[in-house]
Structure 1
Amino acid sequence: MKVRRFVWPAHVVRGALVALCAFGAASAQADNMFGVQLGAGVADHDVKKLDLGLVWDPGLQWWHIGGYHFTLVGEAHVAYWKLNAPDAVYSHIWEYGVTPVFRFIKDTGWFKPFIEAGVGFHFLSHVRQTPDRATSTSFQFVDMVGVGAQFGEHANYQAGFRFQHLSNADIKEPNPGTNFSQIYFQYNF
């Protein structure tokens, strides 16, 4: 009688190892911090946006320079767009996405200013905004730059300003892009 052994597919084993390493690296950091972010923004064509974000700061630090260092945080967002144009096809659009954000932030202190930049992937619930304005794909790249500060005795509070650009990078035409200026506030647990 021949005994058959089950062999896990290579992609499943690799994925499990990557997840295990990522979990191990994250749990090895004592500075893990999670936050809830609330933002508001405006764009051309009479578009307003409310944004709710969940933020994970694994406490990574590298390249300490003059009392500042680089770090990386992960953000997941759900945003609601309100289009006030009189000819809006969809006056309510939802945006979902994730963005890794690089920051250059002060090492210590009650007030820690930073600059930040990130590129992420987002999806829109509707591609058509008005009869003559459409994005052609729900999939959008989102790049942003911003300034802000963490403050408080335990860095529990954060506020900032961001310029955010949504575009499908000419995957498909038309690709008018949308530029938001937004402010945000965050509470870190």
Structure 2
Amino acid sequence: MYASFTTGRRRIRARLARPLAASALMLVSLGFASAESRAAGWEPEIGFLQQGWADGVRATTAGVIWPWSRHWAWGGGHLSGYWEAALSRWSADGGDQGRDRSWITQVGVTPVFRWRPGGQDGAWFVEGGIGLTLMTPIYRNGNKRFSTAFNFGDHLAIGRNLGQQGRHELSLRVQHFSNAGIRHPNPGEDFVQLRYALSFR
């Protein structure tokens, strides 16, 4: 019984080690990419890493953010937004050709609105956005099959800025991907996601 418990713990550690190492590498790469882009005059201000879970699927995402220069006083708080570019890697149960796992690469661009109830300097925020994504190959797992490579991704999130000048950020997101009924089948996929973001400035 003890041997079985120990083996189970080793498997859990092995499953976590790879995504964590990949996430750390992506964050370092994003920092270097940001420094290069600033030197070239093209300046994403924020990089992020995100881990998501759905039924039989997990997704690791890295991306960059360009905050909008415009903002508004709205609803007793502060409304702003940003453009987000993201690269994701999905690992799904089942898939084609009888494999145990299938791997999907997804890229996406999303405009996002963010509202801070405490004003521009408030730590807490809520946000939502709808963007376009492209995945290859077309997503399939043991239970679901998408019919298009192009899909829409919409999300709602709540989060908080942390640390000196709010450079660190944590948020909890719910995100849905589907093709909005353009073609069937269109089962969609719903993720719960945890995101960490870091300002490069």
**TM tier, shorter chain?**
0.7 to 0.9
1:6-56 deviation digits (Å, cap 9, x = unpaired): xxxxxxxxxxxxxxxxxxxxxxxxxx8710000000011x10000001111
Higher helix residue share: 2
1:70 corresponds, among 75, 79, 95, to 79
Equivalences for 1:103-182 in 2 at 5 Å? 103-105=114-116, 106-109=118-121, 112-130=123-141, 133-182=144-193
**Structure 2 CA distance for aligned equivalents of residues 153 and 108 of structure 1:** 16
1:123-175 deviation digits (Å, cap 9, x = unpaired): 11111413763211000011100100122332211110100000000100000
Contact 1:33 1:188 in 2 (8 A): no
1:84-120 deviation digits (Å, cap 9, x = unpaired): x2x32261101101011101013354x6100000000
Contact 1:51 1:80 in 2 (8 A): yes
The residue type paired with residue 64 of structure 2 is: L
**Structure 2 CA distance for aligned equivalents of residues 126 and 162 of structure 1:** 25
Q: How many matched pairs?
A: 153
Q: Does 1:100 align with 2:111?
A: yes
TM-score in terms of structure 1 length: 0.75
Higher strand residue share: 1
Q: Which runs of 5+ in 1 are unaligned?
A: 1-31
Please name the residue that 2:95 is paired with.
88
Structure 1 runs (4+) greater than 4 angstroms displaced: none
**Structure 1 CA distance for aligned equivalents of residues 142 and 54 of structure 2:** 18
Higher-Rg member (1/2):
1
**Structure 1 CA distance for aligned equivalents of residues 157 and 78 of structure 2:** 16
CA RMSD in angstroms comes to: 1.9
Please name the residue that 1:61 is paired with.
71
Please name the residue that 1:185 is paired with.
196
TM-score in terms of structure 2 length: 0.70
Q: What SS is found at the alignment partner of 2:166? A: coil
Contact 1:115 1:146 in 2 (8 A): yes
CA apart distance, 1:65: 4.5
Percent identity over paired residues: 31
**Structure 2 CA distance for aligned equivalents of residues 159 and 131 of structure 1:** 32
